[in-house]
Homo-oligomer: A and B are copies of this chain.
Amino acid sequence: MPADFLHIEKTSGTARLGRLSTPHAQIQTPVFMPVGTVASVKGVPQDTLEELGAQIILGNTYHLYLRPGVETVRRMGGLHGFMSWPRAILTDSGGFQVFSLNELRKVKEEGVTFRSHLDGSSHFFSPESAMEAQIGLGADIIMAFDECTEYPADQARMRASMEMTARWAARSKKYFEEHKHEVPWTRAGTDVFVRPAERSSASSFSEGGTTSESFHSAQNSGLRPSGLTNASVPTCSEETQSLFGIVQGGMDRALRKESCERLIEIGFPGYAIGGLSVGEPRDLTREIVESTLKHLPKDKPRYLMGVGTPEEIVEYSNLGVDMMDCVLPTRAARHGLLFTSEGKITIKQARYAQDPGPLDPNCSCRVCQRYSRAYLRHLYASNEVLAQVLNTIHNLSFYLDTMQRVRHSISLGEESRFLSGVWSQPKP
């Protein structure tokens, strides 16, 4: 981790405008990270993600570990080379997915035995193996292996779980420090090397817009498997991945505080708040986030995992969260639920069958610029694949534009006044 990993450019109340420097890209924060579970943001080609202004995407270690497997990805130069994505990537630790398996897992101090949801085969994740997998996948930011405490849970259970997560965090860090140079950008012995992008300078980064020059140059300068273009792809600089710790502690504010303290004692370049959005009321989520943030270092990035609605990403940005991810925009799109400045649209409704207007009159995405609600409704009703493609592009555009507006507000020292409060309500 470089000393200037997070540069805070401006604050406004509790909100922070920052610049996060990762090996493959500089990221303007607060940032929303689209989820690309198995190295694909479902239905959206990578060049379209670039056009949408996605700065960093998320991959799921559990899924990628099962298919195509870490070794395949590592040989292709890590996820960047494998999926031909020149910007930043974050992988989760696999913990959340493994704990979602419920009947299929068994937790011990050493780690978790679980069965694949694909074929029922048995696997084992420990802090060490989760690190090994994430180093092989080669994301810019990786996560310590944690236990996501279920909700509800009693006090003893929340404490025990938080304490194990803290011990696992220490083991994660130890393994990472010993092996971080094995990341596929630098390692000799991989079949394919990938050169990280030229760092985008803050001044050249085209805030929230289409592909910036620096990204273009990154993409053109060799961020592909060497089989595709240039035979000589140099090895990376000495930069390595950044490992984040994950705060747990259930819905108990004191345990959350203790979790923060224990992680800070171990020392990480960034901290995530995990174990939320697991079924608890929204007010409680907000309360836990707000109290937890107070115990995290101001000079380090804070990542709120798995959140949330358009209103929530604005709200948590204002509370001082720097990074968020959520499947909501992509998953909702697949179900025909579309976020607009006028409220949420269920595109299958008959009212849109002959509606010539754009999905969102205030949106400049390629979907709203070209297609009518009537056409999108027809595609969805006809079960056409293009429905998923276009719906996902729009919802991601809405989320990414929302974050751009949040950043703009912070830069002006304003509250995010544009927050209408109706986005997740159905359009009247």
Contacts and interface: CB of A to CB of B under 8 A. Distances in A.
Given A386-B44, A389-B389, A226 B353 contact: no
A57 interface: no
Contact of A372 (B67, B227, B375, B378): B227
Interface stretch (A68-76, A156-164, A412-420): A68-76
A9 interface: no
Contact of A374 (B45, B82, B355, B381): B82
A370 B42 contact: no
B375 A82 contact: yes
Given A40-B384, A191-B354, A372 B68 contact: no
A370 B47 contact: yes
B67 A381 contact: yes
A424 to B, nearest CB: 25
Interface string A364-395: 00100111101100110110111011100000
Nearest to A381: B67
Most B Cβ at <10 Å: residue of A38, A45, A67, A82: A45
A3 interface: no
Contact of A45 (B76, B225, B228, B389): B389
A192 interface: yes
A379 B75 CA distance: 17
A72 B374 contact: yes
B76 A382 contact: no
A411 to B, nearest CB: 31
B228 A357 contact: yes
A61 to B, nearest CB: 15
This chain: copies in complex = 2
Nearest to A372: B225
A40 B44 CA distance: 17
Nearest to A48: B45
A332 interface: no
Contact of A356 (B44, B228, B378): B228
Interface string A300-337: 00000000000000000000000000000000000000
A333 B414 CA distance: 50
A85 to B, nearest CB: 10
A370 B76 contact: no
Given A84-B371, A385-B389, A354 B227 contact: no
Nearest to A46: B370
A39 interface: yes
A8 interface: no
Contacts of A72: 353-354, 374, 378
A224 interface: yes
A38 B382 contact: yes
A351 to B, nearest CB: 13
A223 to B, nearest CB: 10
9 contacts: A38-B378, A39-B378, A40-B386, A43-B386, A76-B354, A76-B374, A82-B374, A83-B375, A84-B370
Given A47-B370, A72-B374, A228-B372, 19 more contacts: A38-B384, A39-B378, A42-B384, A43-B389, A45-B389, A67-B382, A68-B353, A68-B381, A76-B354, A76-B372, A81-B356, A82-B375, A224-B370, A227-B356, A227-B357, A227-B358, A228-B356, A228-B369, A228-B370
